[in-house]
Amino acid sequence: MPIMPVVLWTDALVYLLLAVVAGFAWYVHSREHLRAPWRRVAQAPAAMSALVVLALFVLVGLLDSVHFRPALPAAPGTSAQSREPAYAVEVESVLDVLLSSLAKRPERTYSAPLATHAYTKETIELPGTDGAPARQVRDYPRLTYGGAQLRDPQREWKADVLLTAFRGAALALPLWLIASLALVAACNPAERVGSRAFWHALWRGETELPWRAVLITLALVLLLALPVALLSAHYHVLGTDKVGLDVLYQSLKSVRTALVIGTLTTLVMLPFSILLGIMAGYLRGPVDDLIQYFYTTLNSIPAVLLIAAAVLVLQVQIETHPDMFPTSAQRADFRLLWLCIILGITSWTGLCRLLRGEALKLRELDYVQAAQAFGVSQWRIMLRHILPNVMHIVLISVVMDFSGLVLAEAVLSYVGVGVDPSMISFGTMINAARLEMGREPMVWWSLASAFCFMLALVLSANLFADAVRDAFDPQVRVGAARRRLEKAPA
């Protein structure tokens, strides 16, 4: 079926970010002094386990960043060759296609996880028997799709769920073996992988890279993902919301929004932080005073009010110029991009202060003083001598701020100044669950699902950020070396 590719603003920036990361990796790989700290990151078991989880989240986000508009079917009596192709207004992604069994099976309203009946009682009309008239009763109706394959849910449900979960766990074992062998073989020489000593060292956790931690994490992920995938073919694993949409589908769709907020905001924040921070620390004098006055004034403005004002201005512009956005997905994506820009503008000051303090220290070192004595221009000194020596601070701040930006989106969407209401995100899920938690019976699974996915994403990002900080921060490395010397026997 023909499709029309659609490149949203955030899609283009995601592709640009991938190109930057690939170029940075190539640059680091060609220089030993840059590879050394990343090698220390790769030797941390917690960091590599977290990286496996982060890689899965990134994969989901990338699949949701390839958008297109599917072609509409030809009208009856016309051939596809005799007309211009018409495309649907709705924009879909590759992830939508893969999760079509979840997205296109809506129920009428709430249903609990793995349920076969609705969560609330409804009036059901039962047909009469033996000439008796039909009668109405209040009961829990059967779901349209959840457990529809069961003839007698009360007797068959438990066995069917357990059997499906067992099949998923059994399928996870060979997939884990294949993935483990392929991953280890791709990262190690063939003669080393073929030796028995290597596998013994891997089992004992004595390899240079923590392969045991990586493979255990991969096994746990497969043991969780495959049973859920098989169960989702017949059930709503995490239940449905008020309008009957699958909560698992919403949680997976929210991953891209969280990743975009956490990464694209960095692209906006870094130029302000690096340029102004280094200029303030190196040039000092009036330039330093002006930059300090600027970010002190910006910090005095409540960030939530500034973000709310910017979002409301954008919303007015969208409503007065609807022809600028052909589809609702493009309108929601532009609001997401605008939110990233506003978050970047309001969050660069902390890193700027750190870089200013570091530049004040670096400008007094001998090699900088020697460059000044030889008449090297100030911009060249900042670019060649100051910037490379503050990049460890930039990298640490970027990685550690990621989780804070993900949580910021949830808070902003909760108060109504975040992403577009039509865009699925963890914040909109939490906002929708706010009223559901106060009803009777309580609908808890939307909030619990958003909480679990955010916990996995933020926790893995924090664990990886801790390893990056320990590897790149000179003070941490010096302190660790001093402790090792103190523990060493005399």
For 233-286, the pLDDT digits (tens) are: 899 999 998 888 999 999 999 999 999 988 888 888 888 899 999 999 988 889
The pLDDT, as a whole number, for residue 58 is 93
User: Is the pLDDT at 478 greater than 80, yes or no?
Assistant: no
The pLDDT, as a whole number, for residue 180 is 87
User: Is the pLDDT at 395 greater than 90, yes or no?
Assistant: no
Tokens of residue 97, six digits: 């296609």
The pLDDT, as a whole number, for residue 149 is 86
The pLDDT, as a whole number, for residue 475 is 58
The better pLDDT of the pair 59, 126 is held by: 59
The better pLDDT of the pair 82, 470 is held by: 470
pTM score, two decimals?
0.86
Half-sphere exposure of 292 (CA within 13 A, CB side): 12
Q: What is the mean pLDDT of residues 417-432?
A: 84
Distance CA 3, CA 85 (A): 9
Mean pLDDT of the chain: 84
The pLDDT, as a whole number, for residue 163 is 94
The better pLDDT of the pair 193, 479 is held by: 193
Tokens of residue 3, six digits: 């499709």
Distance CA 354, CA 362 (A): 12
223: helix, strand or coil: helix
Half-sphere exposure of 263 (CA within 13 A, CB side): 23
Element containing residue 122 per DSSP (H, E): strand 122-126
